[in-house]
Amino acid sequence: MKKSNLTELFINLLSKKVSKRIVVFESDDWGSIRMPSKLVLDKLLTNNVISQSPYARYDSIATDDDWNALLETLTSFKDDLSNYPVFTQNFIMANPDFEKIKSNNFSSYFDEPFDKTIKNYKHTKDYLTILDQAISSKIVKPQFHGNQHVNIFKWLNLLQKKDKNALLSFDQKTYFIDNFGKSIFASYDYNSIEELPFHEKSLKDGLDSFREYFDFSSDTMIFPNYIWSKHHLNYISNFGVKGIQGTKIQNIPRDKLGYSRKIRCNGYLNDFDQITLVRNCFFEPSSSKSGNSVDNCIKSIDNAFMNKVPAVVSTHRLNYIGRLSETNRKNNLKKLKELLTQITKKWPDVVFMSSDELVNLYRLRR
């Protein structure tokens, strides 16, 4: 058995048990910018600013067509209780305001609400209306991913130093660059605890914006790049977050020394009275190297159910985006349809839940 399979089995064995066969789909990065267009992608590739990573080639703001195609697929299925497969869509609430940042010589960070960003992109005329309808139909449940998906201190430092790649990317209205060491995308990573007061403000601003826009509070959060510390958990516990999404490993910043790692299991309370949710299944066809994304996900769901734990499926936004490659969206929705067909056929008593519903189930069981 592969080491990854052994770890998955170990996590499932230790996780808190549930009586039902529950499937949760968690999808990150909604609302955030990544690669603005195919034209920008080609320019950054030509200038060696980025490599051919799946996030560079496929991820962007969803178009209306992306939305409609995804929802058409999801509404073709229901569980034993007549629930649609629900996507927990984890939202970034703001994006950089590039003009203001540049006009201040990269000395300060400014942002704009995600819904303003959406309106400034092409092919998004109905995006926000479709989102509202999807929420009302219980096909989508937004949750909090962060106020921004860029490490502001790292990014501004590169821009202030006139880093060639960072500036070229900035001029294309993105922060996408290949970088070494700590990731430019890890919003709440840090090199010094002196950065933490800014993180606290960012988390508060983001959670406030989430509540104001969606008209309900986010019960859960997933930290960008799965990097956070006890300080961040403390901050968001004060703002009402009671569940933490994530993978089986938490990466904890150790200033400039990298990270310490902590194993996580489903259903446990942390020191801040928050339930841990762990992604023990993966459906990531855009970034899968094996080409067996459906079969591998079904095997992981089967492993979860055999151990009487929920199947929490990681499936990022990039898998469903056709702005940069329509083939990417079409191929992956065929695979999603195949996955859902197998799930509902193999386990007719399956129950689809959102992340916050699973957190509330665990809390009730305690």
Does residue 166 sit within a domain? no
Q: Domain holding 243: CATH number? A: 3.20.20.370
User: Strand pairing partners for 30?
Assistant: 91
pTM above 0.85, yes or no: yes
- To the nearest whole percent, how much of the chain has pLDDT over 70? 98
Q: What share of the chain is helix, strand, coil (3-state, %, to 5)?
A: 45, 15, 40
Give yes or no for residue 364 having a pLDDT over 60. Answer: yes
Structural domain contains residue 161: no
Say if residue 3's pLDDT is above 70: no
Q: Is residue 108 part of a domain?
A: no
Question: Is 352 among the domain residues?
Answer: yes
In a domain, 157, yes or no: no
Q: Given a cut of 90, is residue 34 above it in pLDDT?
A: yes
pLDDT recorded at residue 222: 98
**Is residue 256 in a domain?**
yes
Residue 184 domain-assigned? no
Chain segment 278-292, per-residue pLDDT in tens: 999 999 999 988 889
Asked if residue 262 has pLDDT above 90, the reply is yes
Structure tokens at 44: 């950054």
Q: How far apart are CA 165 and CA 151, in angstroms?
A: 16
For the chain, give the mean pLDDT: 95
Own/partner contacts of 324-332, CB < 8 Å, gap of 24 or more, are 324/35, 324/37, 324/38, 324/41, 324/57, 324/58, 324/59, 324/60, 325/38, 325/57, 325/58, 328/57, 328/58, 328/286, 329/65, 329/66, 329/69, 330/69, 331/285, 332/285, 332/286
* pLDDT per residue as tens digits for the range 316-333: 999 999 999 999 999 999
Residue 183 domain flag: no
Structural domains counted in the chain: 1
| Owning domain of residue 290 | 3-33+62-94+120-146+195-365
| Cα 306 from Cα 273, distance rounded (Å) | 28
